[in-house]
Structure 1
Amino acid sequence: MNKKYQNGFFIFGMAVLGLMITQLDFAEVWSGLQHTGYWFLAVLGLWCVLYVFNTAAWYLIIKAGAKSESPLQGQRREKVGFWWLYKLTVSGFALNYATPGGLMGGEPYRVMSLAPKIGTERASSSVIFYAMTHIFSHFWFWLISIPLYLLTQPLNVLTALMLGTGGVFCGLGLWFFISGYRKGLAVRAMNLLRHIPFVKKWARPFIDRHRGELDTIDCQIAALHRQSRATFIAAVGLELTCRLLSALEIYFILLVILPEVSYIQCVLILSFTSLFANLLFFIPLQLGGREGGFLMSTAGLGIATSAGIFVALIVRMRELLLTGVGLLLIKLGSSAPVVRDKEERNEPKA
Structure 2
Amino acid sequence: MKEKFRNIFWFFGIFAIVVMLFTFDMDYEELWANLHRAGIWLPAVILLWVFIYYLNAWSWYVIIRDGKSAKVPFWQVYKLTISGYALNYATPVGLMGGEPYRIMELSSYVGTSKATSSVILYAMMHIFSHFWFWLTSAVLYVLIEPMNWGIGVMLAVVVAFCSLAIYFFMKGYRNGMAVRTLKMLTHVPFLKKWANRFSVEKKETLQRIDAQIAELHKQRKSTFYVSLGLEFLARIVGCLEVYFILNILTTDVSFLVCILIMAFTSLFANLFFFSPMQLGAREGGFALATGGLAIPSAFGVYTSLITRVRELFWIIIGVLLMKVGNRKKG
TM-score normalised over the length of structure 2: 0.96
Q: How many pairs align?
A: 328
Match of 1:232 among 224, 229, 234: 224
Q: Which residue of 2 aligns with 1:97?
A: 89
Q: Does the 8 Å contact 2:16/2:89 carry over to 1?
A: no
Q: Which residue of 1 aligns with 2:7?
A: 7
Q: Which residue of 2 aligns with 1:70?
A: none
Q: Which residue of 2 aligns with 1:142?
A: 134
Matches within 5 A, 1:181-196: 181-196=173-188
Q: What is the CA–CA distance in structure 1 between the aligned matches of 2:67 and 2:111, rounded to whole Å?
A: 12
Q: Which residue of 1 aligns with 2:239?
A: 247
Match of 1:307 among 299, 302, 307: 299
- In the TM superposition, residue 162 of structure 1 has moved relative to its aligned partner by 0.4
Q: Which residue of 2 aligns with 1:205?
A: 197
2:118 is the counterpart of 1:117: no
TM-score normalised over the length of structure 1: 0.91
Name stretches of at least 5 consecutive residues in structure 2 with no aligned partner.
none
Q: Which residue of 1 aligns with 2:34?
A: 32
After superposition, the C-alpha distances for 1:226-249 in whole angstroms (9 at most, x for unaligned) are 111001111100000110110000
Three-state SS of the structure 2 residue aligned to 1:161 is: helix
Three-state SS of the structure 1 residue aligned to 2:96 is: helix
Q: Residue type matched to 1:23 in 2?
A: T
2:254 is the counterpart of 1:262: yes
Q: Does the 8 Å contact 1:184/1:219 carry over to 2?
A: yes
Matches within 5 A, 1:263-282: 263-282=255-274
After superposition, the C-alpha distances for 1:208-258 in whole angstroms (9 at most, x for unaligned) are 221221111001111122111001111100000110110000000000101
Q: Residue type matched to 2:201 in 1?
A: R
Three-state SS of the structure 1 residue aligned to 2:10 is: helix
Question: Aligned residues: percent identity?
Answer: 49
2:310 is the counterpart of 1:318: yes
Does 1 or 2 have the higher relative contact order (CA < 8 Å, sep 6+)? Answer: 1
Three-state SS of the structure 2 residue aligned to 1:325 is: helix
After superposition, the C-alpha distances for 1:110-154 in whole angstroms (9 at most, x for unaligned) are 000010111100111111011111111100000000110011111
Q: Which residue of 2 aligns with 1:343?
A: none
Three-state SS of the structure 2 residue aligned to 1:334 is: coil
Q: Does the 8 Å contact 1:3/1:335 carry over to 2?
A: no
After superposition, the C-alpha distances for 1:132-182 in whole angstroms (9 at most, x for unaligned) are 111111000000001100111111111001000000110111011101111
Q: What is the CA–CA distance in structure 2 between the aligned matches of 1:153 and 1:291, rounded to whole Å?
A: 23
Q: Does the 8 Å contact 1:139/1:173 carry over to 2?
A: yes
Q: Residue type matched to 1:334 in 2?
A: N
Q: What is the CA–CA distance in structure 2 between the aligned matches of 1:334 and 1:134, rounded to whole Å?
A: 25
Moved >3 Å (runs of 4+): none
2:72 is the counterpart of 1:80: yes
- In the TM superposition, residue 65 of structure 1 has moved relative to its aligned partner by 6.9
Name stretches of at least 5 consecutive residues in structure 1 with no aligned partner.
68-77, 339-350
